[in-house]
C-alpha cells in the first residue's frame, strides 16, 4: 500500500482520498438512521392525525369567530366612564330612582328610610290635588288575597277615585266557589301626600287607613300596603278607559270627605 501511494501521482492521490472520505461519511450517516426510516407507513386515519398534530405548530390554524362578540373599545355608558347605567348605584339610590317617576325633590329635600322624600309643610300648601284626580277615573288590577281569613288566592280589584275626595272599590275573587263569597264593595275618602312619587292613602268611613299606593304616573298605581300587609312583589293598578261607578254602593250613605 505504501509503495502504491508513493508511486501514484499527487493529483490521483488526492482524488482517491476524497472519494474514500465520502464513502466513509455516507456509511456513517446510514448507520445513524433508525431501522425502518425509509419504510413509510400506509396511509390511514391514524397516520393523518399524527402528521397533522406534529405539523400543527408550523401550519396556520384558522379558528371560527366567536358567536358573542364584545366591543371593548366602545364605552358602556354615554358619559364615557365605561360603567353601565345604574351599575354604580347603591340599593338605596335605586329605590329612590324608582320612586321618582313623577317630580324630583328640591334642594335640601330629605329621604326617608324607605327611599321616599319627607313631606314638609310647604309641600302640603303648594300641592295641587286636582292635578292627579281632575275627573273621576277607574283603576283595575289583580292582587293576591293578603289575609288568610279571606280564603282565596287572587282577587280582581276595581278602584274608582272622584275629585271630591271619595273612593269606591270592588273586590271580586277569581275562585267562583262558596268559600270565596260574593264580590265585596266599600267606599271611603282618599288623601294624597306630596311625596316623591305622590302617595295615595285610602281611608275607610271611620278614618282608618285601608291601603297605600304610589302614583308612578297618572295611569299607574303601585300597591305599597293593603290592610296593614306589605306585599313582597310589585302589584299594579292600571287606569281603565271606561269609568266604573260601582253602582252597588249608590243606596248607602256617602262618607264626608271635606275635613
- Average of pLDDT values for 201-213? 93
How many C-alpha atoms does 152 have within 13 Å on its Cβ side? 22
Left (φ > 0), alpha (ψ -120 to 50) or beta: where does 197 sit? Answer: beta
Give domain limits for the chain. 129-246
For the stretch 65-101, pLDDT in tens is 444 444 444 444 445 444 444 444 444 444 344 443 3
Euclidean distance between the first and final Cα of the chain, in Å?
143
Res 237 pLDDT > 90:
yes
Res 177 pLDDT > 50:
yes
For the stretch 7-32, pLDDT in tens is 545 566 667 666 676 666 665 555 55
DSSP letters for 87-148: SS--HHHHHHHHT-SS----TT--B-TTSPBPP-HHHHHH--GGGT-SS-EEEEEEEE--SG
- Average of pLDDT values for 196-214? 92
- Average of pLDDT values for 199-211? 93
Cα 39 from Cα 33, distance rounded (Å): 12
For the stretch 99-109, pLDDT in tens is 433 444 343 34
pLDDT of res. 182: 78
pTM greater than 0.85 (yes/no):
no
Helix, strand, coil share (%) of the chain residues, nearest 5: 25, 25, 50
pLDDT of res. 194: 85
CATH of 129-246, one of 3.40.50.880, 3.40.50.2300, 2.40.128.300, 2.30.29.30: 2.40.128.300
Upstream peptide bond of 7 is cis (omega within 30 degrees of 0): no
Cell of 10: 499527487
Cα 145 from Cα 171, distance rounded (Å): 10
- Average of pLDDT values for 203-227? 92
pLDDT of res. 213: 96
Amino acid at each position: 500500500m505504501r509503495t502504491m501511494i508513493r508511486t501514484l501521482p499527487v493529483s490521483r492521490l488526492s482524488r482517491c482520498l476524497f472519494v474514500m472520505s465520502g464513502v466513509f461519511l455516507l456509511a456513517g450517516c446510514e448507520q445513524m438512521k433508525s431501522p425502518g426510516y425509509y419504510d413509510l407507513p400506509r396511509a390511514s386515519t391514524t397516520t393523518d392525525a399524527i402528521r397533522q398534530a406534529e405539523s400543527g405548530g408550523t401550519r396556520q390554524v384558522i379558528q371560527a369567530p366567536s358567536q358573542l362578540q364584545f366591543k371593548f373599545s366602545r364605552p358602556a355608558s354615554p358619559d364615557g366612564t365605561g360603567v353601565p347605567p345604574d351599575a354604580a348605584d347603591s340599593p338605596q339610590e335605586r329605590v329612590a330612582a324608582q320612586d321618582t317617576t313623577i317630580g324630583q325633590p328640591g334642594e335640601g329635600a330629605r329621604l326617608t328610610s324607605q327611599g321616599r322624600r319627607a313631606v314638609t309643610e310647604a309641600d302640603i300648601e303648594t300641592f295641587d290635588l286636582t292635578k292627579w284626580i281632575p275627573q273621576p277615573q277607574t283603576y283595575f288590577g289583580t292582587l293576591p288575597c293578603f289575609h288568610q281569613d279571606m280564603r282565596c288566592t287572587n282577587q280582581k280589584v276595581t278602584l274608582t277615585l272622584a275629585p271630591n275626595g271619595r273612593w269606591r272599590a270592588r273586590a271580586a275573587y277569581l275562585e267562583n266557589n262558596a268559600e270565596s263569597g260574593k264580590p265585596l264593595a266599600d267606599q271611603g275618602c282618599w288623601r294624597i301626600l306630596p311625596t316623591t312619587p305622590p302617595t295615595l292613602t285610602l281611608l275607610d268611613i271611620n278614618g282608618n287607613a285601608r291601603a297605600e299606593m304610589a302614583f308612578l304616573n297618572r295611569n299607574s298605581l303601585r300597591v305599597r300596603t293593603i290592610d296593614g300587609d306589605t306585599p313582597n312583589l310589585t302589584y299594579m293598578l292600571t287606569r281603565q278607559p271606561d269609568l266604573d261607578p260601582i253602582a252597588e254602593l249608590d243606596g248607602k250613605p256617602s262618607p264626608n270627605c271635606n275635613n
